[in-house]
Chain A
């Protein structure tokens, strides 16, 4: 089974600064999708960004971007110009096309310091 590892249980960043959240995964598949989801205190899971494994170009969504290293099986999330509203739990996730299943990491709790 695929595994997703987030090695940073907690992170903090100063408002307006940049922070990078780490994620690694283990798979033998070549075609898959990777995601970052945000879960604020409301507990609503919100899609932040997605990456198709067959695309070499790193996905970006406004202040959010990823560093996708397929060979290293690494998928980090960079948040630029951090805002107070970015404070949340962030989950890295892997989707298997063949298994039709989602695998979540354990999450990173991000605190934004005013």
Chain B
């Protein structure tokens, strides 16, 4: 099956610092990747759609200047949490799609972010 990696898996940082999370599709190319945030025992909340070669599309209520997304190649998307604060602590997951419509999403293992 398709493999999507995410790095780092765990990050602890001080309030005010920026954190970059990488999402890579290892054995396929994806023009679109998705970034989600998940709180404990809840469903995935879509944050933004990352488009290769163009600007990301953000969901309502998600600050684009806070969560910077760059989709530099067909296999790599990055999410940068700028000036992180404790309320940004969460589990972040990316996904990339395969199929005629990139409809079948394969997910990265997630990144646990803790901001102190």
Contact = CB atoms under 8 A, between A and B. Distances in A.
Contacts of A42: 109
A38 B29 CA distance: 24
Contact of A43 (B91, B102, B104): B91
Interface residues of B, number: 22
A35 interface: yes
A102 B109 contact: no
Contact of B49 (A33, A37, A100): A100
B1 interface: yes
B43 A91 contact: yes
Given A47-B104, A97-B103, A91 B44 contact: yes
Contact of B101 (A35, A97, A105, A106): A97
**Residue among A42, A45, A91, A93 with the highest chain B CB neighbour number at 10 A:** A45
B34 interface: yes
Contacts of A100: 32, 49, 101-102
A44 interface: yes
Contacts of A30: none
B46 A45 contact: no
Contact of A102 (B41, B42, B46, B110): B46
Interface residues of A, number: 23
Nearest to B6: A44
Contact of B44 (A46, A95, A104, A109): A104
Given A100-B32, A101-B49, A107-B43, A35 B109 contact: no
A89 B91 CA distance: 15
B75 interface: no
Nearest to A106: B43
Nearest to B31: A100
A2 B83 CA distance: 34
Q: Which 9 A-B pairs have the closest CB atoms?
A: A45-B107, A33-B103, A95-B103, A97-B101, A44-B109, A104-B43, A106-B43, A43-B110, A104-B44
Interface of B: 1, 32, 34, 38, 41-44, 46, 49, 91, 93, 95, 101-107, 109-110
27 contacts: A35-B104, A35-B105, A43-B109, A44-B109, A45-B44, A45-B95, A45-B107, A47-B1, A47-B105, A47-B106, A50-B104, A89-B41, A91-B43, A95-B101, A95-B105, A97-B103, A100-B32, A100-B49, A100-B101, A101-B49, A102-B105, A104-B43, A104-B44, A105-B43, A106-B42, A107-B43, A109-B41
